Each structure stands twice: as C-alpha cells, then as structure tokens.
Structure 1
Amino acid sequence: MDVVEKVRGGERIGLEDALKLYELDLFTLGELADERRRALHGKKTYFNINRHINPTNICKDVCKFCAYSASRKNPNPYTMPIEEIVQIAKSSWEKGAKEVHIVSAHNPEAGLEWYLGMFAAIKRELPEIHVKALTAAEIHFLSEEYGLSHDEILDRMVESGVDSMPGGGAEIFDEEVRDYICKGKVSSEGWLAIHRKWHERGKMSNATMLFGHVETRAHRIDHMLRLRALQDETGGFNCFIPLVYQRENNYLKVEEFPTGQEILKTMAVARIVLDNIPHLKAYWVTATINLALIAQEYGANDLDGTIERESIQAAAGAGSAHGMPLEEFVHLIKDSGFIPVERDSLYNELKVW
C-alpha cells in the first residue's frame, strides 16, 4: 500500500512513511493535509486577541539562533518592573485582549519572586485574563538557579495564576542538533518531562518545533513522533506550532533557508503525523502572514492572534514588532476563503466572524 492510501485509510504514519510524504508533489500532499484539516475543523480558522509580553532580554544561555537576548548583536539589556508588566496587561485587556503570552530570557539577576510575582500581580488586577507563561526552558532554568524541583516550580506557577504553558524551548529534540544550536538549555527529555508534569496537573500546553536551520527532515519527523507519543499518554497539548527559523542577527551560520514549498510541506506533514494534537498553528510571525494564509490549505487551522507587540522573533527579522489589527486579521482570513473564529486560549469559540 502506498503512503497516500495509508493516509486516506486512516493508518498511523511512522518515520519512513513521513519521509515519503515529503517526496510527494506539493498539491497531493496539500490535499491529504486539507482532508485531515476539514475532517477536524471544516473551513474554520481560529485566532485570538492576545498580547505578547517579553519582560527581559538578559539571558545566561547563549543559543546560536537567538537574536533577542542581550549580547554583542543586541546590546540593549532590559528588565521590566512588575508594575510596567501589569500596566501593559491592563492596557491590552481594555483593548479586548483575552490572553497575555509571557515569555522572556533566563535572567539570573531578576529573582524567582520577579518571575512568579508578575503573574500573581496580573491576576490580582485582571482575574479573568488568561495567563500563558513560562516555557519548559524557563522552568528548567528557574529550577536550576533556585535549587527547586520542576514540580515545585510548576506548583508555584499554578498558585501564581498561570493558566497554560506556551510551547517554546522545544527547538529540535534531536540531541546532537540541540547540543549544537542551544547547548546548556533544557534537554529534549527534560522538555517533555516538564510538559508531562504540567498535563498531570490538569493543565494544557502547546508544543513548538524550530525548523529551517541545520536540522534534516528526519529530525523534524522524530520531533513530531516524540510529541505524538506524549500526547497519546497525556492528551495535554492543544496545538502544534512549527516555527520557521529567523535568519537575522544571530550566530547560527545557515547557508540555505527553507523555501515556501518546504515550509508548506512541513505544515502538511505535521497535520498528518500529529493525528492526536487537535490544532496546527501557522504562526504568522515566523511564517509571514502571506505564507500563513496559504498554510490554511496545507493543514493549518490556527493563525495565533493579533499579538499587539512582539520582540523575540522581531529581533531576528520577523515583521511582528507591532502585531496585526483585528479587522485586518479577520479580513485576510475571509479573503482567503476560510471562516474566522475568535477563540479563547483553550480553543473555546467566542465569536464566528
């Protein structure tokens, strides 16, 4: 049986077959992924009204792909006071944001109370806002820095009002690639173990994959299969987000960048392989809005959100510094033939536009 028949027959796809999917022509692969997407979500494309806050760029780790942390390539270190972070959250809430997405660097100077205190302070002011915060990499950093177990950090996150976890810090799970691009960061096993523990607390999280740098297609598929195995176990992942590597202002010397076709193929393969993760996000920040809109035809059913402001990817060349106006976001989805659905952070539908 060939791989197309296997996919259409509902068979689960392993490493060998997933590599064969990449060899299909773009339109056949897109058709297979679109069939999966329609079976799950019809023509709905989800987004939320959210605000990204990046409270510090001082980092003890040196990831070769990072253009955000304060370094020779970005010599402007900052750490926001908690009052400023709360003020940003309040301002965004007043403009309609339902979620704050808080990811920052591994700052050894800021203190554990600063990291956890900002969430508690936001919740005191805005009890209804959804706080999505702390990647597994940040949790691992706090655990090592302050001599606490992952469980203790996770329990304190829950106490401080964190509602869900973002998927950052996953990069690529292959240990050799990981050692090369982000040595010293949480290990692949550590990342998966932290998300497992979070799911065991009845909480949801997302999962990312950074691709388009020094990894191979097989590394990407291995990454997806490890996520699929954990999802079989816990069911705690809302969404998978393939992040396209941003090339500017960093130390990863990459000669060949993925083509638009390769990005779309990776989206489509992800939709087929990750049969148990309900949502696939084309994160417009790293994919560009135009490619993200096309990705709706290749399995993606979520475009993230309005964002308002974003610093991490923007530092590496993404056009996300000032977010995307809501009306434009809705208009672009409609224009591309899909139904814009505003959601909350856990994919409950709030409004069909």
Structure 2
Amino acid sequence: MIDLANLSVTNLVKLYDYDLFELGSLADDIRQELHNKKVYFNMNRHINPSNICADICKFCAFSAHRKNPNPYEMTKDEILSDVHSSYNRGAREIHIVSAHNPNYTYEWYFDIFKTIKSKFRDIHIKAMTAAEVDFLHRKFNKSYEEILGDMKDSGVDSMPGGGAEIFNKEVRNKICKGKVNTVNWLKIHSIWHSMGFKSNATMLFGHIEKREHRIEHILLIRELQDKSGGFNAFIPLLYQRHNNFLNITDFPSGIEILKTIAISRILLPNLPNIKAYWATLGINLAIVAQEFGANDIDGTIEKENIQSAAGANSKKGMSKDDLISQIKDAGFIPVLRDSMYNELEFFN
C-alpha cells in the first residue's frame, strides 16, 4: 500500500491504480470503525427559488439559457407553501439553493429565511452556497463577514457545499469562469465555521477534470477541516451530462466512481461523513457506495431541480419507506438523522 502519510498529489493519485475491492476494503474498514453498518438519511426538501442566473457555468443544465429556455422565479408565498406542505409530511430540513438571480434584492434572501423560521421554528434551514455568498458580495459590495452574519441573524442553520466544483484553477476557468474562486470558497466556509456553524463540502467530478485534480481538491478540504473542524460531510457529486455545454462523451465507469468515493473516505480521516448523493449517482449505485466508504445517501428531497435538469432521475425525490427498504435490502441499518447527524430513529 502507498504511504498515506505522504500527502503529495503524485503519491496519492496512485490509489486509483489499486484494485477496486482492495480500495473498497480499506475504505470500508474506516467507515465501519466510524459508523458500523449504519446508513444515514434525513427528511428534507430541496427548494430552488429561481433558475435565472447572472453566471454562466458550462456544466449547468439548471440555469435558464438556450438549452433550458424556461426561466422562473418563485414568489415568497410559493416558497412558504412548499415549506408548509413538506413540513406536514415530516421534513425538518429545508435546503434552499438558487441561481444567482440579478433581479433579487439583497434583503429578499434574508426575508425568506426569517419568515420560514418564524413560522416553523424547528425547521433546519440549510441555505446559501459559497457561490451565492460570493455573488451577493460582488453585486451588493458586502463583505463575506457581513453576509454570513446576516444569514445567521435571519435563521440559516448550516451551509450546503455547492459551488466548489473542482478547485483546480485551469479547470475552473473552463467550466465556471467568473464564479467564486477556490481561495474565496474556502475562505467563506472558514469564516462560517469560525462563527460556530457547520457546512458541507462537495466535489463535482466526471467531466474534464483529471484524477490529480480530484486529489488536489480533497486535500484542500482536508486542510481546512484540520483547521476549523466545521465540515459535516464530504459529497463527491457525479457530473450529469445532458442539456449543458461541456459535451462530455467519456463518462466515468462505475468502477471509477466507486474508487473516487473510496479514496475520499481514505483521504479524509478528519471528516466524519462521506455522502453518496443518490440524486446524482442513482439510488442503486448510492447503496453500493456504502460498501466503499460512504455512510450517508442524503434524504427524501421531495423535489429536485438542479441534477434532474441534466438527466438525473431525481426530480420527484424518494419516499422515506423506499429509502429504508433500499438500505435494509443491502444489509445496512437505516438511521434517520437530523441535519447535524444526530441520530433520531433506527430501523432494524
């Protein structure tokens, strides 16, 4: 086995040369030590207020453009109606991520969060990617500290990990030039952590990036986690290839995907949870990934617009019973968690 104490990219990229099941066994040992046979999920609802975006990312099929000529903006009442109906079905996390809509005022965002919190005090609001924070910073000339402080004051409980994509500058310039850069993505999460809050981290893979870029990305997350301890979960997001401008034809195999998840678990010993996000992987591969280092599959979602716009089969979410059944059938123990990974209910 390679020397895992040698954190050079040249050394660690050799992990991809190992047999899948050898890698999987090492990752599973780490996963079992942390979580035994538990697989976490939560009752959540994704809400995407608008797909009108000031930025143009070549991998994105969600934002309104010529391949998706259906722009929309949800009203405050529509958002509250979705929250209310999801709350009545048991959702206790509302995940709010929007395109970078140039029509919204600065106050629009925070008024939404305050209103949700005033009506549903036990709902956890996960909202505002670092890319959205950076957009507000650029558009309204607000400091990161001021924006994050307003998020806190308006009721945001944690941040999602979106906008990270791939940290390599050259790749980033090709797929999402103009969006938050790597230094500022990490800075925003570091500030949020210093305020006592948690966030997630993502990595978009399977497009034009190389294996070396994935390793670089994971190591930067590891470095910040060593400093702040603020990441709840790392989520390798599989690129969805339809309805965007990258025109990728060489899509990663199941083996490559599972190796990437296993390597994430191996290289992030300081981060408690690796999520195999079923909305990008599909539920079957997400379940298999639990044998390769992952210990979470996300949640019910209810309605998913971003990945499904690019071809993922996730638009209508999944029911709690279906998630439980899938996890059980694979020989794991389904565990309903809250947004902070507190265990709420076991389904043996």
The TM-score with structure 1 as length reference comes to 0.97
Mapped pair 1:328 → 2:322:
yes
Mapped pair 1:68 → 2:57:
no
User: What is the letter of the counterpart of residue 307 of structure 1?
Assistant: I
Mapped pair 1:127 → 2:121:
yes
Unaligned runs of 5+ in 2: none
Larger mean CA deviation between 115-124 and 158-167 belongs to 115-124
Distance of aligned partners of 1:12 and 1:122 in 2 relative to their CA distance in 1, 3 Å threshold: farther
State the alpha-carbon separation in 1 of the partners of residues 222 and 241 from structure 2.
28
Q: Deviations over 1:234-269 (max 9, x none)?
A: 000000000000000000121201000000000000
Where does residue 107 of structure 2 map in the other structure? 113
State the alpha-carbon separation in 1 of the partners of residues 317 and 33 from structure 2.
31
Where does residue 297 of structure 1 map in the other structure? 291
Contact preservation (8 Å) 1:14, 1:273: no
Unaligned runs of 5+ in 1: none
Which one of 30, 35, 45 corresponds to residue 36 of structure 1?
A: 30
State the alpha-carbon separation in 1 of the partners of residues 99 and 128 from structure 2.
10
State the alpha-carbon separation in 1 of the partners of residues 114 and 311 from structure 2.
33
Once superposed, what is the RMSD of the aligned Cα atoms? 0.9
Q: Deviations over 1:91-116 (max 9, x none)?
A: 11110001000001000101112111
State the alpha-carbon separation in 2 of the partners of residues 170 and 292 from structure 1.
21
Report the 3-state secondary structure (helix = DSSP H, G, I; strand = E; otherwise coil) of the residue aligned with 2:46.
strand
State the alpha-carbon separation in 2 of the partners of residues 78 and 272 from structure 1.
41
Sequence identity (%): 59
Which one of 204, 210, 214 corresponds to residue 216 of structure 1?
A: 210
Mapped pair 1:152 → 2:146:
yes
Report the 3-state secondary structure (helix = DSSP H, G, I; strand = E; otherwise coil) of the residue aligned with 1:282.
coil
User: How many residue pairs align between the two structures?
Assistant: 347
User: What is the letter of the counterpart of residue 310 of structure 1?
Assistant: E
Mapped pair 1:241 → 2:246:
no
Report the 3-state secondary structure (helix = DSSP H, G, I; strand = E; otherwise coil) of the residue aligned with 1:337.
coil
Where does residue 97 of structure 2 map in the other structure? 103
Report the 3-state secondary structure (helix = DSSP H, G, I; strand = E; otherwise coil) of the residue aligned with 1:202.
coil
State the alpha-carbon separation in 1 of the partners of residues 249 and 318 from structure 2.
30
Mapped pair 1:274 → 2:232:
no
CA apart distance, 1:19: 1.3
Report the 3-state secondary structure (helix = DSSP H, G, I; strand = E; otherwise coil) of the residue aligned with 2:158.
coil
CA apart distance, 1:323: 0.3
Mapped pair 1:56 → 2:50:
yes
Distance of aligned partners of 1:97 and 1:12 in 2 relative to their CA distance in 1, 3 Å threshold: farther
Which one of 216, 226, 232 corresponds to residue 220 of structure 2?
A: 226
CA apart distance, 1:87: 1.4
Contact preservation (8 Å) 1:82, 1:114: no
Report the 3-state secondary structure (helix = DSSP H, G, I; strand = E; otherwise coil) of the residue aligned with 1:47.
strand
1:241-260 counterparts in 2 under 5 A? 241-260=235-254
User: What is the letter of the counterpart of residue 341 of structure 2?
Assistant: Y
1:13-24 counterparts in 2 under 5 A? 13-24=7-18
The TM-score with structure 2 as length reference comes to 0.98
State the alpha-carbon separation in 2 of the partners of residues 347 and 212 from structure 1.
28
User: What is the letter of the counterpart of residue 189 of structure 2?
Assistant: H
User: What is the letter of the counterpart of residue 254 of structure 1?
Assistant: I
CA apart distance, 1:16: 3.1
Contact preservation (8 Å) 1:12, 1:273: no
User: What is the letter of the counterpart of residue 331 of structure 2?
Assistant: G
Report the 3-state secondary structure (helix = DSSP H, G, I; strand = E; otherwise coil) of the residue aligned with 1:252.
coil
Distance of aligned partners of 1:83 and 1:298 in 2 relative to their CA distance in 1, 3 Å threshold: same
State the alpha-carbon separation in 2 of the partners of residues 173 and 16 from structure 1.
17
CA apart distance, 1:30: 0.6
CA apart distance, 1:291: 0.5
CA apart distance, 1:171: 0.1
CA apart distance, 1:15: 2.1
Which one of 87, 91, 94 corresponds to residue 88 of structure 2?
A: 94
